[in-house]
């Protein structure tokens, strides 16, 4: 495979294998990780996999699927099966919902301080087991170990953040405006929730939903992606060890997501749905949730623009571009999908970005020195290749990469394209891969128009040193989040979410727990 084992080093190469750590910073440059932590033996891998439960978690019990079926979890770097886990049937899903409903009242009445302490204990356990959890994630999802460790650190922070929010749920008491009577409000948990989590951030997308729900006093049924169920199963085991009562969290793994989720959405016991995934699937789930008038949170697709204005710090913009594009092999809804660069800088920006992207090393995520792992499966690799071919056919120039791997696994070379025309599909479709298309603009108005020329509105990245321009552009861009002179926006203390067809609702920050609380108003005669 071209470039897979030849690390084309460059002194300015920015690695995507960054550690988020406690401060949530993303330094550029290869982290100094000891070799023995990067190169894993087959025995080490097997030991980590063996410690992960393979059954369904229903009502505090680990049990096989009712039909006895299993599904294989694949290593995307080799295409080989790692392990098999239970393949739930619709009746298993309904049993999980029944367990959540049965635990509902007791958990809602559980002391908020103890709910927070459970989250805190789970946070500490995750931190202690970072290396093992990261290895499991790398094996089932493919990303480099350093990136997996960064995700584990980021994921753990949601448990720490919401452990502190559990005791800050409050209402208000005020005199009626007429002076007669009082207004009392109280916040109460929504009730049983159904969570559907994606494969690209299998731990962080789990903790982002589980933590506020636990803090608020809600019970849950979670269905992780079939490609990456092990990270969620390991997380459920940790919460169990931390003292989470049986039935509060129920986990069902299944090949047929629709078959196990639809009965839950049609059941009156379900009160909330939270989904992270594609806009297409999100639309279907929103429609299914309408019958029961469910509370719904949707974190859907993205098409993030990365704007570089003529006064930008080009070195900083390139550092940010590497983070925004290559985090998670580009398989992120927040990934920079299209680079709109002022015409005076576009040629230099594209050439220097290609130099950095070309220096990254492809390989299995457990191998020493690997920066970029495989894509999740063959279908995703083929889609990326198709988008690159479409752009080339319309006149774009490939500056580096542009080819799939020729060996086992689902690899695609980090790729930069220049002179990408407006009608290229990759400027309107989510790439979800290590491909950076560079287009140009001349005026601020053109940049904003290009940024908004999409049905999506999740995140945008803006590089400029002009404060007035920065504020004007940030206000004009139709996205739920903006990275101003930085290539990463994700932060447990901040509200994550989008607008337009990128969804609605917020995860993280003070706003995150609101998604799991109902407001009750009591009119008091006095």
Q: Which domains does the chain have, with CATH numbers?
A: 59-170+190-300 (3.40.605.10), 304-491 (3.40.309.10)
pLDDT bracket for residue 407 (50, 70, 90)? confident
**Strand, coil or helix: what is 444?**
helix
Average pLDDT, stretch 355-362?
96
Catalytic residue among 333, 367, 413, 515: 333
Q: How far, CA to CA in Å, does 348 sit from each of 273, 343, 415, 465? A: 46, 10, 16, 18
Cα distance between residue 142 and residue 144, in whole Å: 7
pLDDT for 2 beyond 50: no
Q: What is the pLDDT of residues 317-326, one digit of tens each?
A: 999 999 999 9
- pTM, two decimals, is 0.91
Q: What is the pLDDT of residues 288-316, one digit of tens each?
A: 999 999 999 999 999 999 999 999 999 99
**Strand, coil or helix: what is 461?**
strand
pLDDT for 12 beyond 80: no
126 closest CA partner among 215, 291, 242: 242
- Identify whether 333 is a catalytic site residue: yes
> Which single residue is written with the structure tokens 């084992």?
5
Catalytic residue among 89, 299, 507, 515: 299
Asked if 103 and 69 count as a contact pair (C-beta separation under 8 A), the reply is no
Cα distance between residue 494 and residue 512, in whole Å: 9
Asked if 69 and 87 count as a contact pair (C-beta separation under 8 A), the reply is yes
Cα 379 from chain centroid (whole Å): 20
Q: What is the pLDDT of residues 138-174, one digit of tens each?
A: 999 999 999 999 999 999 999 999 999 999 999 999 9
Average pLDDT, stretch 71-82?
96
Average pLDDT, stretch 257-274?
97
């Amino acid at each position: 495979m071209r470039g897979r084992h030849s690390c084309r080093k460059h002194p300015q190469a920015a690695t995507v294998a960054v550690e988020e750590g406690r401060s949530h910073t993303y330094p550029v440059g290869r982290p100094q990780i000891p070799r023995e932590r990067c190169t894993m033996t087959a025995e080490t891998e097997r030991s980590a996999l063996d410690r992960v439960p393979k059954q369904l978690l229903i009502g505090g019990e680990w049990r096989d699927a009712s039909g006895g079926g299993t599904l294989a979890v694949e290593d995307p770097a080799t295409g080989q099966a790692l392990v098999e886990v239970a393949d739930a049937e619709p009746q298993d899903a309904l049993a999980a919902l029944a367990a959540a409903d049965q635990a509902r009242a007791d958990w809602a009445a559980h002391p908020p301080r103890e709910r927070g302490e459970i989250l805190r204990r789970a946070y500490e356990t995750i931190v202690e087991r970072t290396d093992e959890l990261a290895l499991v994630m790398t094996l089932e999802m493919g990303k480099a170990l350093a990136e997996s460790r960064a995700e584990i650190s980021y994921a753990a922070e949601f448990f720490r953040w919401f452990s502190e929010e559990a005791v800050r749920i409050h209402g208000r008491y005020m005199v009626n405006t007429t002076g007669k009577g009082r207004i009392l409000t109280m916040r109460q948990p929504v009730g049983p929730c159904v969570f559907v989590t994606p494969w690209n951030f299998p731990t962080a997308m789990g903790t982002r939903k589980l933590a506020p729900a636990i803090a608020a006093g809600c019970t849950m049924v979670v269905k992780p992606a079939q490609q990456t169920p092990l990270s969620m199963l390991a997380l459920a085991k940790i919460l169990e060890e931390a003292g989470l009562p049986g039935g509060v969290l129920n986990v069902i793994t299944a090949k047929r997501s629709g078959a196990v989720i639809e009965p839950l959405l049609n059941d009156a016991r379900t009160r909330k749905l939270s989904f992270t995934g594609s806009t297409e699937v999100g639309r279907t789930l929103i429609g299914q949730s309408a019958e029961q008038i469910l509370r719904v949170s949707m974190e859907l697709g993205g098409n993030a623009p990365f704007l570089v204005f003529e006064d930008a710090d080009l070195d900083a913009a390139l550092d940010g571009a590497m983070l925004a594009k290559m985090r998670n092999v580009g398989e992120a809804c927040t990934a920079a999908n299209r680079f709109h660069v002022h015409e005076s800088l576009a040629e230099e920006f594209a050439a220097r970005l290609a130099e950095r992207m070309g220096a990254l090393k492809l390989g299995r995520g457990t191998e020493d020195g690997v920066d970029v792992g495989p894509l999740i499966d063959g279908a995703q690799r083929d889609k990326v290749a198709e988008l690159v071919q479409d752009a080339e056919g319309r006149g774009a120039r490939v500056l580096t990469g542009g080819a799939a791997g020729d060996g086992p696994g689902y690899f695609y070379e980090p790729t930069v394209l220049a002179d990408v025309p407006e009608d290229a599909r990759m400027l309107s479709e989510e790439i979800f891969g290590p491909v950076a298309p560079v287009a140009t603009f001349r005026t601020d108005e053109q940049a904003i128009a290009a940024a908004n020329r999409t049905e999506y509105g999740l995140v945008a990245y803006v590089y400029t040193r002009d404060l007035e321009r920065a504020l004007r552009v940030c206000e004009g861009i139709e996205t739920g989040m903006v990275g101003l002179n930085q290539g990463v926006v994700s932060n447990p203390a901040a509200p994550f979410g989008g607008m337009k067809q990128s969804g609605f609702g917020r995860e993280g920050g003070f706003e995150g727990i609101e998604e799991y609380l109902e407001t009750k108003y009591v009119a008091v005669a006095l």
